Amino acid sequence: MGSGRVIFDALAAEAIHDPTRLRELYEQPSPLVQRKQVDRLHEAARRLIGCASLVFVATADADGNCDATPRGGPPGFVSVLDERTIAVPDATGNRRLDSLHNIVATGQAGLIFLVPGRAATLRINGRACVSTDPRLLEQLTPVGKPPRSAIVVSTDEVYGHCPKALLRSSAWDPEQWLPADAMPSSAEITLSHLDDPSLTLDQVLAAEEESLRLRYE
């Protein structure tokens, strides 16, 4: 096969486009799996969110273009407002506002909550909005000051994932971690993407370090 989109186009032409055919490839989920999806935040889900210091936010724009981005903070930086509503403070980032633009366009978001060192994760899907209500933002101060906005999600689906993915990946097992030089650094990736002969790796590193310093102030 060729490179670039040629590979994808060739595979997509023969891909599954019928949901019935897709279902035929797999066994039906167990009754337990089907029953553990709920529409509200029970006590155990609230506790997990209160321990989570990392959440991945998935969104899409009006044309279906998808985006997934990590959000982090101290444990409990995402606030549970009631049994159906959570708020994710928007900490200073790269200012592209990809997730926020998508939520404004479609009013939907999906989230995966992770607790470092633990294999249990929690998935939430639901209606979403970008709020600048000062009464809400004043409550969301995990980094010491109110954020400029917050992602507010009304839970349509709350689902506790089994730990298989994190166990298979050995994500929290230091003995299985790759050495630091086995993968490109953030600065190396940036330099490669920019493809600018006038830039050096040291310059990109310096810019990253300054950006990180300012984001923690």
Q: What is the mean pLDDT of the chain?
A: 92
Coil, helix or strand at residue 86: strand
Shared-domain flag, residues 143 and 198: no
For residues 124 and 152, what is the distance between their CA atoms, to the nearest angstrom? 12
Residue 187 within a domain: yes
Task: Examine the pLDDT at 1 and tell me if it is beyond 50.
Answer: no
Residue 26 lies in a domain: no
Model confidence pLDDT, tens digit, residues 156-171: 999 998 899 999 999 9
pLDDT of 204 strictly over 70: yes
Q: How many helices (H) and strands (E) does the chain have?
A: 9, 7
Q: What percent of the chain has pLDDT over 90?
A: 77
Q: Is 41 exposed, middle or buried (0-12, 13-18, 19+ CB in 10 A)?
A: buried
pLDDT one-digit tens code per residue, 113-142: 999 999 999 999 999 999 999 999 999 988
- The three-point CA angle 205-114-204 to 5° equals 5
- 100, part of any domain: yes
141-152 mean pLDDT: 89
pLDDT above 80: residue 48: yes
Q: Which residues pair with 17 in a beta bridge?
A: none
Asked if 130 and 184 touch (Cβ cutoff 8 Å), the reply is no
- Kindly state whether residues 43 and 90 are assigned to the same domain: yes
Q: What's the chain's Rg over C-alpha atoms? A: 20
Domain limits at 188? 178-215
Q: What is the pLDDT of residue 89?
A: 95
How large is the average pLDDT for residues 71-79?
94
Q: What is the CATH number of the domain that holds 149?
A: 2.30.110.10
Mean pLDDT on 64-87: 96
Q: Bigger pLDDT: 217 or 120? A: 120
194 and 132 both lie in a single domain: no
161 in the same domain as 55 = yes
